[in-house]
Structure 1
C-alpha cells in the first residue's frame, strides 16, 4: 500500500509540471503554484475556515462537522481547495485517485489564472494574505486571554452577523478617513475615558464648515458600508474591538470577489481542466475515469444553478459564436477578455442567450399549494431573475440612513427593497447584534406585502410598526 502511494506521488510530481507547461502554451497566466496533498480532516478544516490559518469561531466548527459528516457518508466531497494568494496554494485530497488529483490540479490552474487576471480581484492583495490572517488569529487569541474567550467570541458574533454589509467600491475610504484624522477633522479618539466630553464640545471641530452631524444629515449620504460606519462612529468601542471589526471587514473584502464571480470562476476552471487533460498522455482506463469525473462535476442540478456546468457552457458558446463570426481564434481571444473584465452579473446579462437557456433547460419555479411548479420559462425573464438574485452577491442591500435618528444617537437602517422580503426572524435577531455594536437603539425600515414596516430594538425588547 505504501509503495502504491509513493508511486502515485511520483506520477503526480511528473504530471503537474507537464500540466503547467500545457497551461502556459494555452496562454494561461498564474501565480507560482504550491500543491500539497492533505487528509480529509485537514481539507475540511480549511474548507470550514475558508483559509488554512484564520481566527477560531464556533460557526467554523459547525461548518466542519456538517461537511465532514457529508464526506464520511459519501454524500458530497471537496476534491480540492485553492487559495487566492501569491504564491497560489492548492490542497489536494489524499483520498483522490491519481487521475482525480491530475484533473483537480488542472482545474486549479484555471482558478489561479482567474484570480490573477480578473479585474475584480485586482483590488485585493494576495501577496501576504495567508500570513496576515495567521497574524490576526494570533491577536484574537491574545484578546481572549486578556478579556476572556466568552467576551471576545460574543463580539465576533456581533460583527459576523453583519459582516456582508460592506461596500466593495469604497476600499479607498479607509485611506481618506486616515487623512481626515491627520488633517484634524473632528473624530472621537477611541479608548480614552474622555470621549463623551469631546463629543459634547462641538466648537472644537476643525473641519471647514463644521461636521456633517452639526449640519444635520448624518451620514451626509446613505452609507452602504455598515461595518465602516460603525467602526468610525460607534461609542465606547475599545481598541481590541476596533481591531476585530476592521480585520473582519478586510477579510470580507478578500472573499467578496470570489462571491461576485462564482459562476465565471468555476466555469473558467472547468473549461481549462477539460482542455489541459485532453493534452495529457492518459491511458484508456484513465481517460474513462476522467470522463466519469468530469461528467459528475458538470451534471445539471434540478434545484439550483450548477456553476461548473453553466459557466462552462457560456464560455464555450462565446468561443463558438465569435469564431463563427470573426474567424478561428477570435473566440479564444474573446473569452480571455471576458475572463478579465466581467463578473457573474455582466457575464449572465451579456452572454446567457435564448439558445443557452433552452439548451440548459433553465426555468423559474415556486411552491404553489403543496406542489413545486414551473412558473416561467421565457428566456429573458429567467436570465433577468438570475441576474437580480446575484445583485450584491445575493445579500439584501441595507444602508445607514441616519446615525443620529431622533437626535438621540439611534441608528436608522433602510432596506433597499427589490421585490425580495427579508427573513423576519433573522432580521430581528440581527438587530440585537447591531444594537450591541452601536450601543443605542436601532431601527430598520423594510417592506412586507408591499407595506413599509419599521422594526426596532432598544436593548430590551423588539417592536415593529407599519409606517
Structure 2
C-alpha cells in the first residue's frame, strides 16, 4: 500500500461545517481513496440539500430530475409525515450513478457525518458504479442526467398537448409493469442514452412502417392440417419476436392501438427501469463496498491525525448503527441487513489475506495469505453480483459471527425445521440457501408474452413460469393485467405454468381493456 498521508493537524475540531471545510475533507478523503487504495471513481460533485429536498428525492426514486407523477407526491406526503412525527429518519446521503457522480448530503449533518458520507458515497459507491460489470453493461452514467431531463420535458409536452389525464393513464399502466420492463441478458454494446435520444425520430418512422406491415399481414383462418397450423404458429411467434419477457418492450413495439407519444412514454419508463436493474442485483455488494471503503478511509484519517478522537468516536457510533444486525428473535429484525452482510464478508476477506487460519486455507486457498486484500476486494466488486458474491465469498467465520442458520418452511408441516447451522456440516448449505435468497428469479415472477391471436380477436397470451409452485396474488394479478390490457387494447389472458413439468396450475381468463 502506498503511503501518501502524513501526520497533520485535524481537518476540523467541531460539529459545524462550511464549504471550505467540506472541500478540505473531500481532498483528504480523495488522498486515501485514490492515492492509497487505488480506487477509480467517477469525478465527484457534492451538493448540500435540506431535509425537504431529501424527502423530494426519496419520492422520485432518488433522481435529481424526473417527470411528474401523482405517486411521487403521495410518497412525499407519507415520508414527510413519518419524518416530522419522528417515526423514521432520513438517509445520510443520496448518490446518483452518473458522470460526474452526484452526491447529495444533508445540511443538518455534522462535519463528521459529512466526511463519512462523502467517503461512503462519492468514493465507495462511485467506484462500484464505475467498475462493476453489471453497471458497465446496463447503465450509461455519461448520459443519464441528460436523458432524465429529456424525459421530464417530453412528458410535460405530452401533458400540454394530450392532457394530463391521458398521460397519467399511460404512466400508471407503465409503472404497474415496471418490474417487467427490463432485458435480463447483456446486450452486445453498452446502453447509450444519448444515441437513444438522437434516434427517436428515425425510430418513429421505422416503427410506423414495420408496425403497419405486421398488422396488415394477418394469417387467414382455415382448417388445414396439424403440421400447417403448427408452422403458422411458429411463423407468427417468430414475426412477433416471441417469447418476450420484457413486457414494456413488447407493448412499445407491438401494441396495435398505441400512438407514438404513448410508445415513447413506455420507452422512457423502460429505460428508467433498466437503469435500476443492476442496483436490485447488487444491494449487498454495493452497500458493502461503500461501507468498507468509508471504514478504511475514516480509520486512516484518524491514524494520521486528520480526525480527532472525538470525531472518530462519533463516526464509530454512526458506523455501528449502519452495520447493526438484529437477531432473528429481536423485535427490530426485518431480515438480513445488506450493509452488515456486505461489510462483514469484505472485512473477513481482508483478514484472510493478511492473517489467515488453517480453516481459511481450506476454504479460500487463493485468498488466504495473499497479502493484497485490496486486489481481492476490487476483483469481487467488479465481477460479481449479490447471489454469486455470497456463494463465492461467504466464509465460516462470518456465518458463525452472524449466527446464520437455514430453515425449511413447508406449509404442509406444522413446524419449522432447522436444516443447517454454522458447523462443518452446515456451512455450505447455509451459504447456498442465503445466496438463493438474492436470486431475482425467486422474487420476481417470470412472465412472458408467448402468443397473439392475430387472426381472431387479437388476444394477448402470457405465461407465468412458476418456481416451487408459487402462484401470483390474484388481486394484484388482476390489477396488473387490467393495466396491460389497457395498453394492448385487446383481451389479455394469463396462464400459470410449472416451469419443470409444463403443467397448467392456474388460469386468468380474458381481461378486457376498459376505460376508467
| TM-score for both structures, normalised by structure 2 | 0.77
Q: Indicate conservation of the 8 Å contact 1:212/1:220, yes or no.
A: no
The answer as to 2:328 corresponding to 1:313 is no
Instruction: Assess, with a 3 A threshold, how the Cα gap between structure 1 residues 261 and 76 changes in structure 2: closer, same or farther.
Output: same
Q: What displacement does 1:247 show?
A: 1.0
The answer as to 2:276 corresponding to 1:255 is yes
In the aligned structure 2, how far is the partner of 1:284 from the partner of 1:6? 16
Determine helix, strand or coil for the equivalent of 1:167.
Answer: coil
In the aligned structure 2, how far is the partner of 1:223 from the partner of 1:41? 41
Could you say which residue in structure 1 is the equivalent of 2:115?
102
Q: Indicate conservation of the 8 Å contact 1:190/1:237, yes or no.
A: no
The answer as to 2:446 corresponding to 1:397 is yes
Instruction: Assess, with a 3 A threshold, how the Cα gap between structure 1 residues 96 and 225 changes in structure 2: closer, same or farther.
Output: same
Map 1:184-195 onto structure 2 (within 5 A): 189=209, 195=212
Could you say which residue in structure 1 is the equivalent of 2:313?
288
Instruction: Assess, with a 3 A threshold, how the Cα gap between structure 1 residues 316 and 134 changes in structure 2: closer, same or farther.
Output: same
The answer as to 2:260 corresponding to 1:265 is no
The answer as to 2:100 corresponding to 1:87 is yes
The one of 6, 11, 29 aligned to 2:21 = 11
Determine helix, strand or coil for the equivalent of 1:169.
Answer: coil
The answer as to 2:507 corresponding to 1:454 is yes
Could you say which residue in structure 2 is the equivalent of 1:122?
136
Q: Indicate conservation of the 8 Å contact 2:218/2:454, yes or no.
A: no
Q: What displacement does 1:384 show?
A: 3.4
In the aligned structure 2, how far is the partner of 1:368 from the partner of 1:446? 20
In the aligned structure 1, how far is the partner of 2:20 from the partner of 2:161? 48
Q: What displacement does 1:46 show?
A: 1.2
Q: Indicate conservation of the 8 Å contact 1:431/1:456, yes or no.
A: no
In the aligned structure 2, how far is the partner of 1:256 from the partner of 1:107? 21
In the aligned structure 2, how far is the partner of 1:348 from the partner of 1:215? 43
Instruction: Assess, with a 3 A threshold, how the Cα gap between structure 1 residues 372 and 249 changes in structure 2: closer, same or farther.
Output: farther
Q: What displacement does 1:328 show?
A: 4.8
User: Which stretch shows the higher mean deviation, 215-224 or 42-51?
Assistant: 215-224
Q: Indicate conservation of the 8 Å contact 1:57/1:153, yes or no.
A: yes
In the aligned structure 1, how far is the partner of 2:53 from the partner of 2:69? 17
Q: Which runs of 5+ in 1 are unaligned?
A: 204-210, 462-467
Q: What displacement does 1:118 show?
A: 0.6
| TM-score for both structures, normalised by structure 1 | 0.85
Q: Indicate conservation of the 8 Å contact 2:17/2:110, yes or no.
A: no
Map 1:433-452 onto structure 2 (within 5 A): 433-446=483-496, 452=505
Instruction: Assess, with a 3 A threshold, how the Cα gap between structure 1 residues 334 and 84 changes in structure 2: closer, same or farther.
Output: same
Determine helix, strand or coil for the equivalent of 1:86.
Answer: coil
Could you say which residue in structure 2 is the equivalent of 1:112?
126
In the aligned structure 2, how far is the partner of 1:212 from the partner of 1:106? 60
The one of 401, 424, 428 aligned to 2:474 = 424
Q: What displacement does 1:460 show?
A: 6.7
Could you say which residue in structure 2 is the equivalent of 1:208?
none
Count of matched residue positions in the alignment of Structure 1 and Structure 2: 442
In the aligned structure 1, how far is the partner of 2:125 from the partner of 2:106? 17
